Amino acid sequence: MKWYRNLVEAAVNALNDIFNRHKQADKVINSLLKSQKKWGSRDRKFVAGLLYDIVRWKRLYEHLTNTDILTGTGKWHVIGTWAVINHIVLPDWDEFVEINADEILKKYQNITDEAIKQSVPDWLFELGQAQLKERWVETLKALNEEAPVTIRVNRLKINTDTLKQKLLKHGIETYQITDYPDALFLKTRRKLTHLNCYKQGLFEVQDASSQLVAPFTGATAGDVVIDACAGAGGKTLHLATQMQNKGQVLAYDIYPAKIEELRKRAKRNAIKNLTESGVIDAGIVKKNYQKADILLLDAPCSSLGTLRRNPGLKWELNPDKIKQINVIQRDILEMYESMLKPGGYLIYVTCSILPMENQLIVKNFLNKHKNYIFVEGKTILPSNSKGDGFYMAKLKKQV
């Protein structure tokens, strides 16, 4: 492949924004691609692939070059190492003069430290090993793979086979997997949001594991469902669709911008049973006292189950942040459970893979609330899933 200096320099600047200015990797990369109108599809694919790979394998590449990505030369050395590991011939540029491909490959083959090999901070490797035991390394390997693009068919408007044919007319091939009834997986990564079938609300881009939450709730037509941590509404829309536009779905979040996005998506998806949406506060909780048949709490978490899609998270997290998140998770359960009526079901969900954010949080809640009983739990690890890592627990509030 031919290297173009302007592309690599743009990548170096993007790495500076991500690691030196602490900006979110996906936002930096998306902004860069949008700003370069003259880049062709190959240019975009090269830069995006390079950046996501370096964000994902930062520690490994730093180890192989004995450099620090925070320095100017370090960024170029890491890019050079990326090329060597991927068997790409480097151009004859001054910035790559010190790159010794043979030494890098030899060092790469002799790595025994799994934290370096899987490219995670030591503290995270140790925490994951303590929490997941023998499943941790295979989980990390899965999290270091590229996430597939998955969409959810909007069954209010179209069936799966018809949507598959519509997408095929745009050259987009998809396939299905039995355990994900509403999902279509793309064979190759493609941009989708410009398509008319997306604008018409025939599908939503939604992770495969996320698509398992609505069925897990058991919500049916006629239920009153409160989604108290709705975000931009991916699971909310799925719930409303599963309920066949009947009953009531009330969706809340602490961020107004996310609620606004949810409303736009609900309109595009022809959702009619979203009867209320807004910013949650003590007044909302009081107003909805014992109203819900099902209360969904998709709690804030470390999001470690999403590292396939968000590899930069592992460099942003630290042990103190996870402890702070644990406090928020416990508080949300305490503050919001009063919206569930006796006999109803509380669904606690995270996209974390750590028991300290999942089973232990639920256990703590059950110890304090003897009027709740544990019904079932589901752990989804990326090593045996086509989607993110997830945890779901269903608790019943006794009459």
Domain definitions of the chain by residue range: 5-111, 150-205, 210-397
Task: Kindly state the tokens that stand for 354.
Answer: 């750590």
For domain 210-397, give the CATH number.
3.40.50.150
Return d(Cα 337, Cα 349) in angstroms, integer.
14
- DSSP of 216-257, one letter per residue? HHT--TT-EEEETT-TTSHHHHHHHHHTTT-SEEEEEES-HH
Q: Enumerate the H helices of 111-224 as residue ranges.
A: 114-117, 122-132, 136-143, 160-169, 196-199, 213-217
Residue 190 confidence (pLDDT): 87
Return d(Cα 260, Cα 278) in angstroms, integer.
8
Return d(Cα 359, Cα 372) in angstroms, integer.
15
CA atoms within 13 A on the CB side of 380: 23
Task: Kindly state the tokens that stand for 346.
Answer: 């509380």
Residue 306 confidence (pLDDT): 96
Q: Which residues of the chain have pLDDT under 70?
A: none
Q: Which fold would CATH assign to domain 150-205?
A: Alpha-Beta Plaits (3.30.70)
Residue 155 confidence (pLDDT): 96
Distances (CA, A) of 388 to 143, 154, 163, 217: 8, 21, 24, 18
Task: Kindly state the tokens that stand for 383.
Answer: 């090593």
Torsion of Cα atoms, 81 then 85 then 89 then 93, to 10°: 0
Residue 57 confidence (pLDDT): 97
